Amino acid sequence: MQPLLYSELVPWYSLVDPPEDHEDEAVCFQSAFEHIISPRPQTLLELGAGAGNTALHLKRRFTCTLTDLSPGMQQLSREQNPDCEHVHGDMRTLRLGRTFDAVLVHDAICYMLTEEDLLAAARTAFEHTRPGGGAIFAPDTLRETFQDTTETLEEDRGGRSMRGLMWTWDPHPEDSTYQVDFAFLLRDGDTVQAVHDRHVEGLFTRDTWDRVLTQAGFRVEPLKRPLGDGAFDDIFLCRR
């Protein structure tokens, strides 16, 4: 069953994850692709593109094909990216029968809960990357860097308001998953509703990531991703 954020709460998604928050990260992805891919990359496939917030910035430079498993999220993406191709599909099994200069697998990769699922998604990315092309895998966190965190969320748009708490924690450190619990207060006019939404996400070591991506066929190197306020983390830049 999909988390509420990608089903019942889709109409509220832009308040939880505003598109403008993705611009710096998109610049990082574009620069990395242009650095490793020759001739200059033109086409990009995003696996798990969600609402298309990253593509909103990347489409200025690339011809983008966007895939996702949630029909509601794809509808949001179509609304803000009508000039992009959209394909409904699971990143573990999708086969389009064509390749792209660049493949991006953003935070939707976090919903791969086992090493087998992670490898299946990596193989999908490899199958869709042209020889000489590149891929980026951008998980939210690694086992080595994971920390319990609590963040507050606040946004007002178009007469609606959201106040929220995002609690990231690991109830079972011995396994390969962690949890993200959202508590939302959602106001529309005079009506306020409270919603709890739990996300179970995959958590793997850097060595596991390197092994899986190499097994899929990629050559892997670290990529520094900007997190804001001068902070960075390591994600994975892959060459085919």
pLDDT surpassing 90 at residue 144: yes
- According to the model, what pLDDT value does residue 101 have? 99
- According to the model, what pLDDT value does residue 228 have? 79
- According to the model, what pLDDT value does residue 49 have? 98
CA angle 82, 201, 239 (to 5 degrees): 65
Q: Smallest Cα–Cα separation from 130: which of 220, 41, 234, 221?
A: 41
Structure confidence at residue 170 as a pLDDT band (50, 70, 90): very high
pTM score of the predicted model: 0.96
pLDDT surpassing 80 at residue 221: yes
pLDDT surpassing 80 at residue 1: no
- According to the model, what pLDDT value does residue 230 have? 81
Domain boundaries, the chain: 4-142+205-239, 149-202
4-142+205-239 and 149-202: identical CATH topology: no
Contact 236, 213 (CB under 8 A): yes
CB atoms within 10 A of CB 186: 19
Residues across the chain: 240
Average pLDDT over residues 116-123: 99
In the sheet with 100-105, reading across from the earlier edge strand, the strands are 85-88, 63-68, 43-47, 100-105, 129-137, 231-239, 219-228
pLDDT surpassing 90 at residue 173: yes
Q: 124 Cβ partners below 8 Å, 6+ apart? A: 47, 91, 92, 93, 94, 95
Average pLDDT over residues 52-80: 98
pLDDT surpassing 90 at residue 195: yes
Average pLDDT over residues 55-79: 98
- According to the model, what pLDDT value does residue 27 have? 96
β-bridge mates for residue 188, sequence order: 160, 191
Regarding the domain with residue range 149-202, which homologous superfamily does it belong to in the CATH classification?
Answer: S-adenosyl-L-methionine-dependent methyltransferases (2.20.25.110)
Q: At the top level of CATH, which class does the domain 4-142+205-239 belong to?
A: alpha beta
